[in-house]
Chains A and B, each alone.
Chain A
Amino acid sequence: MDNISNTRTDKVLQVKNLSKMYGKGCHACFETTGPQYNTNICAHCGSVVAAHNVSFDLYKGEILGIMGESGSGKSTAVKCLYFDQVPSAGSAIFTDEAKQYELFNMNSAQQRHLANHRFGMVYQNPHQGLNFDISAGGNIAERLLMSEVDNYAAIRARATELLARTEVLPERMDELPKNFSGGMQQRVQISKALAINPPLLFLDEVTTGLDLSVQAAILDLILEIQHEQQTAMIVVTHDLGVIRLLAGRTLVMKYGRVIESGLTDQILEDPQHAYTQRLVASAL
């Protein structure tokens, strides 16, 4: 596969040494936490090291999987990149149309502008990504209005198109999302994230809690979008099946550290780290 070669120029995102800590922090935080100590709580000061030294590159049209058990820091990493949380340390460079953005050095207005115009986010729980007090179409409209589309007819047309694309009946566009099934809510959330054709999409446990056939349909949809639009994606999940199906490359995280990374096939067929081995063995 060519997407790990270092000579590629279409790098979308470069993350270096991303760390996120909750609490005061002390000199011993990083030395007393991590997989080898089986904890992410510092024994000296009680701070939680949610993620430490996470580094990876992401290329155009590539899907990167981040795998790990709950509390391993995989969602934290993605939330930092989407500006939901402020990282404690590290850098991330987003490249878009030959312009580079140093994500964590921008002010909050610039960050919001970038997130509104260039990023998409799909949360595990539709309540996080959707406003349940406004219609499905209104949710998509919000996203378009955030990026300065202010023509009502254009918004309606785009929302109809997106809902049709994600197989939600456009006739139900003006209904409240609470009337929808979980799978449909998730599709509306994906429509909302896709409204502005983002070059970078974050998917946080998007299929967790859905039944198998709905899961399959949503995963299909994600793959189609990747092929059609060459969207780069980061998929956070604890589901090995999702990783196998979607991700070209994968990071495995435990207690806030990346313990293994590489091609997905390689990791699933020949896991090196004891934790990954156990994970793969338990799933297969």
Chain B
Amino acid sequence: MSTAYPFGFLDEYAKKEVRRTTLKAVAIPGYQVPYSSREMPMGRGFGTGGLQLTLALIGEGETLKVIDQGSDDSVNAVSLRSFIEMTCVGINTTTKTEEADLIQSRHRIPEKVLREDQLLILQVPYPDPLVVVEPSEDKRKTLHGEADYSRLLVKLYEDIVKFDEITISHRYPTRINSHYVIDSSPIPRWDVPKLHQSSALILFGAGREKKIYAVPPYTKAEPLAFEDVPFRVENFTDSIGQRRSCQRCNCTSSFLDEFIDSTTGEKVYQCSDTDWCDTQQSLNRSTQAATDSENVSKIGEIAHG
């Protein structure tokens, strides 16, 4: 498709600025680097931060995967993907995690462990974890500079007092490289441990708030917690203590979404990462086929014998 847009929609100066900001973000793990954040042809809050990172970093011949809520087919993922396809001539897109060079995502880090040559770009609505305890940005900057996160810990303390556990479900405050605490974007607690010593570079872009930050590869990422009340991921065991499984692929090690079956009214569970679920299903099919053919040959042996 030919368009009147330059490669990557943004002009070269804008892309250069995003790249320079990214370099600074990688150099200071967890520090929110301000950047100008251009107007994009979509509302701020729809992933413009992640989009600008992708547009500035992708090159011809590279392969992109876009996910939203773990799925490649949700509306936001589809429109972002087609926008990037339209403005970056010569790139490829995929839904397979292992084929992608760049993965732009919101809400999830893929279940499949990322490689060193891959890049994960997360869209961030609220980059600053301190915003819930300190309204003034000026004061927040001082708190970040002095690594004073006691007020965030007080919030965790209050949670334990009220609910006997830490109730933050997503955007869990995570300390990077033993100094800056970041807002881990709307990923569930389940994905927070994947930030720790990740092989892939993870970039965070907040378009509305005009910030870029990074968790470089092989960097410490520790979720805030108490010595005696450690960080926990979501618990998917049912009332009889069994790990729930995905109704499509029977996987018992992935992050599950809960649905209400519209006909039976029952709760059903399904992998949130659709690519993972599809991969598991095809694996199941091939093992099934293998056992089937094994059985067939066994039957043949019996018949012959």
Q: Which residues of A contact B (CB under 8 A)?
A: 108-109, 112, 131, 134-135, 137-138, 141-142, 145-146, 150-155, 174
Chain A residues lying within 8 Å of B142, measured Cβ to Cβ, are 108
Q: Which positions 218-249 of chain B face chain A at CB distance < 8 Å?
A: 226-229
CB-based contact B227/A134 at 8 Å: no
9 closest Cβ pairs, A-B complex: A145-B150, A152-B226, A146-B150, A151-B227, A145-B153, A142-B154, A109-B146, A141-B157, A152-B229
Interface on chain A toward B: helix, strand, loop, or mixed SS? helix
The smallest beta-carbon distance between A109 and chain B, in angstroms, is 5
Q: How far is the CA of A197 from the CA of B63 in the complex (A)?
A: 59
CB-based contact A150/B227 at 8 Å: yes
Q: With A112-B146, A137-B161 as given contacts, are A151 and B228 in contact (CB-CB < 8 Å)?
A: yes
What sequence of 0s and 1s flags, for each residue 141-158 of chain B, a beta carbon within 8 Å of any chain A beta carbon?
010011010110110011
CB-based contact B158/A135 at 8 Å: yes
- 13 pairs of residues in contact across A and B, judged by CB atoms under 8 Å: A108-B142, A108-B146, A109-B146, A134-B154, A138-B154, A141-B154, A142-B151, A142-B154, A145-B150, A150-B227, A152-B226, A152-B227, A154-B228
Partner of B226, one of A131, A142, A151: A151
CB-based contact B161/A155 at 8 Å: no
Q: Which partner residue on chain A sits nearest B145 by CB separation?
A: A109
Q: How far is the CA of A112 from the CA of B145 in the complex (A)?
A: 12
Q: How far is the CA of A67 from the CA of B154 in the complex (A)?
A: 36
Give the most central of A142, A151, A174: most B CB within 10 Å: A142
Q: Which partner residue on chain A sits nearest B162 by CB separation?
A: A174
Chain B residues lying within 8 Å of A138, measured Cβ to Cβ, are 154, 157-158, 161
Interface status of B75 (Cβ within 8 A of chain A): no
Interface size on B (CB < 8 Å)?
Answer: 17
CB-based contact A152/B150 at 8 Å: no
Q: Which partner residue on chain A sits nearest B156 by CB separation?
A: A152
Interface status of B290 (Cβ within 8 A of chain A): no
The smallest beta-carbon distance between B164 and chain A, in angstroms, is 11
CB-based contact B226/A150 at 8 Å: yes
Interface status of B160 (Cβ within 8 A of chain A): yes
Q: Which partner residue on chain B sits nearest A137 by CB separation?
A: B161
Q: How far is the CA of A174 from the CA of B159 in the complex (A)?
A: 11
Q: How far is the CA of A155 from the CA of B150 in the complex (A)?
A: 13
CB-based contact B146/A153 at 8 Å: no
Chain B residues lying within 8 Å of A137, measured Cβ to Cβ, are 157, 161
Q: Which partner residue on chain B sits nearest A174 by CB separation?
A: B161
Partner of B150, one of A108, A135, A142, A154: A142
Q: Which partner residue on chain A sits nearest B143 by CB separation?
A: A112
Chain B residues lying within 8 Å of A141, measured Cβ to Cβ, are 153-154, 157
Q: Which partner residue on chain A sits nearest B224 by CB separation?
A: A150
The smallest beta-carbon distance between B180 and chain A, in angstroms, is 14
Chain B residues lying within 8 Å of A152, measured Cβ to Cβ, are 157, 160, 226-229
CB-based contact B148/A146 at 8 Å: yes
Q: How far is the CA of A223 from the CA of B202 in the complex (A)?
A: 56
Give the most central of B146, B151, B153, B157: most A CB within 10 Å: B157
Q: How far is the CA of A108 from the CA of B146 in the complex (A)?
A: 9
The smallest beta-carbon distance between B36 and chain A, in angstroms, is 29
Partner of A112, one of B148, B226, B229: B148
Q: How far is the CA of A10 from the CA of B93 in the complex (A)?
A: 73
Q: How far is the CA of A150 from the CA of B142 in the complex (A)?
A: 22
Q: Which partner residue on chain A sits nearest B229 by CB separation?
A: A152
Q: Which positions 115-154 of chain B face chain A at CB distance < 8 Å?
A: 142, 145-146, 148, 150-151, 153-154
CB-based contact A145/B157 at 8 Å: yes
With A109-B146, A151-B227 known, 11 other A-B pairs at CB within 8 A are: A112-B146, A134-B154, A138-B161, A142-B154, A150-B227, A151-B228, A152-B157, A152-B160, A152-B228, A153-B228, A174-B162
CB-based contact A155/B148 at 8 Å: no
